Amino acid sequence: MKLFRICIFFLLSINFLHAASAAQKGSREEAIALVKKAAVFLKENGKEKAFAAFSDPNGQFVKGDLYIFSYSTNGDGINLAHGQNPKMVGKPLLEMRDVDGVYLVKEFLAVANSQTGNGWVDYKWPNSLSKTIEQKSAYIEKVGDVFLGCGIYK
């Protein structure tokens, strides 16, 4: 009977940890809302202040595994802001690919420069919380001559 209780406790613990992990993941709605909030901030405060705010890992544009990133729509692929990895800012990343060979920034640019100026891009990316490569989808939205993005892990 004691072994049975230990097994039940173990299974419940695994369920709890899985649920807690899933709860940490941002939703599609939260990603869109964060991009919309960032767009308003950019329009009201200008690029210099906005990109600094977007790149602050402890700021208002980072929420759990959600963060804002930005590039110019001119196609140069230079990262303008990144809420999770400040080492990416200022780097030309046009040729950056995921593990399946998807050119992330090129795909982001295609969406930003499309007729609608917004949409989703699917790719694989390292999750800083789980430390594994996971399926991710980023919401991209054009704002003037830049685009903002925020990704969710699926």
pTM (predicted TM-score)? 0.83
134 inside domain: yes
Give the sheet arrangement for strand 69-72, strand by strand: 79-82, 69-72, 146-153, 133-143, 118-126
Is residue 75 assigned to a domain?
A: yes
Domain around 80? 26-153
Taking residue 139's Cβ as centre, other Cβ atoms within 10 Å add up to 23
Average pLDDT over residues 12-25: 44
**CA dihedral of residues 39, 41, 47, 53 (deg, nearest 10):** -110
pLDDT of residue 10: 35
- pLDDT score at 127: 85
**121: in domain:** yes
Q: Is residue 79 domain-resident?
A: yes
CA distance 148 to 150: 7
Nearest to 112 by CA among 71, 61, 66: 71
Quick check: is 70 in a domain? yes
Domain count, the chain: 1
Please report which confidence band the pLDDT of residue 130 belongs to, taking 50, 70 and 90 as the band edges.
Answer: confident
Average pLDDT for 41-52: 98
Q: What is the pLDDT, as a whole number, of residue 152?
A: 96
**55 domain-assigned:** yes
Average pLDDT, the chain: 87
CATH at residue 130: 3.30.450.20
Q: Quote the pLDDT of residue 129.
A: 75
* C-alpha to C-alpha distance for 50 and 99, rounded to whole angstroms: 31
Q: What is the mean pLDDT of residues 105-129?
A: 95
More confident residue, 60 or 126: 60
pLDDT reading at 15 higher than 70: no
| Domain annotation covers residue 21 | no
Query: Each residue of 68-94: pLDDT tens digit?
Result: 999 999 999 999 999 999 999 999 999
Distances in Å between the Cα of 115 and the Cα atoms of 16, 30, 142 are 44, 24, 10
4 occurs within a structural domain? no
29 SS3 class: helix
List the alpha helices (DSSP H) in the chain. Answer: 2-24, 28-45, 47-54, 104-112
Q: How far apart are the first and last CA of the chain?
A: 39
Other residues' Cβ atoms within 10 Å of the Cβ of residue 33? 16
Grade residue 148 by pLDDT with cuts at 50, 70 and 90: very high
Task: Identify the pLDDT of residue 18.
Answer: 37
